[in-house]
Amino acid sequence: MIKQNYLTHSHVKLLFRPTKDDFVVSEIPLYEFSGSGEHLILQVRKKDLTTWTMIDTIARHIGTKARDIGYAGMKDKNAMTIQYISCHNSFEPKLGTFKDDKIKILNTTYHENKIRIGHLKANKFFIRLKQVQKSSVPVLNEAIKHITTHGMANYFGYQRFGIDGDNHEKGQLILQGKLKEKNIKLKKLFLSAYQSYNFNNWLSKRVEISNLVREFKPKELVKILKLDISTITDMKDQTQPFKLLHGDVLSHYPHGRLFLCEDISSEAQRFVERTISPTGLLVGHKTTHAQDIAKIYEEQFDTPADKLDGARRYAWIFPTDISSNYNEDKKHLELEFTLPKGCYATEFVWHICGMPAKKC
């Protein structure tokens, strides 16, 4: 995998190993459940299990197929996670006898519709970082302050690429017709990893460009980036860390329609105000593509993927509800924050410590 570029560089040594005690994820539903309807909504807490395993376990107990159980998104295995799933209310009596050491049904209610992928507003996280020296706390807090003020790059986390980090390679082989995967879930996982890998490469390139714009003078940038002085000036005039380009595909934030960046000055101001954010390409043939200057950089990572529809993903996000607490005796730094759906808490850690969250 490519080494991702960041706009904050703390380079602090610490320890973060995702476990049920040090990594807690709680879903924030997209909407309030009505309390009536044919679908039973379960708030479930799981420990050290994938979402698929949790769903399979419950499905077997109530005597239905896993595909009949609705869920909004996948949650980490090496964590304690609280999420919502749904099934037909006819299975409620059988759920009364459900018991599992790693799964607990916390609450139930009803709703008219089945929960589906994406029916999620955000995720709230608790993370405990260990072996944090007191001298490192001001540095980490400064990085946290930077993210609170400016947001952060929305990379896909290492989890996306599998234990060996090669899921994207399998996805590429599937697209090339060189690998056949009969397991539909695994096939989707590999293809998604391929899209994620290209997205991360593109985003890293754009963050690198933003860093260069901050560090060098206009005349130097013309030579380095091989762009005209007008484009360089447009980027230099922007106050936000991630620089917009003409032709970027923007989206209203935290959700909304896509549109092209045409007026750099006004769109940059809206970006600072957090009402819009740039998006990156998840390769495929049925989605909006960048134009003009932005197209130059997107094309480098827009590889053939006719079998995929494609989509756009926010390149930049704004974490909220951020707080930190340092325990000097235990050398623990405890973090709480909320991220939009589909964003990775481990990337938040990587942003503040300056090294892979998996290896901290």
- Give the catalytic positions in this structure: 76
CB 343 within 8 A of CB 155: no
Q: Is the dihedral of CA 272, 274, 278, 282 positive or negative?
A: positive
CA–CA distance, 249 with 262 (Å, rounded to integer): 10
**Residue (of 190, 150, 196) closest to 170 by Cα position:** 190
In single-letter form, the type of residue at position 358 comes to K
> Helices 345-353 & 137-150, crossing angle to 10 degrees?
120
CB 30 within 8 A of CB 119: yes
CA–CA distance, 314 with 255 (Å, rounded to integer): 9
Percent helix, strand, coil in the chain (nearest 5)? 35, 25, 40
Tokens found for residue 279: 């998006």
CA–CA distance, 86 with 120 (Å, rounded to integer): 13
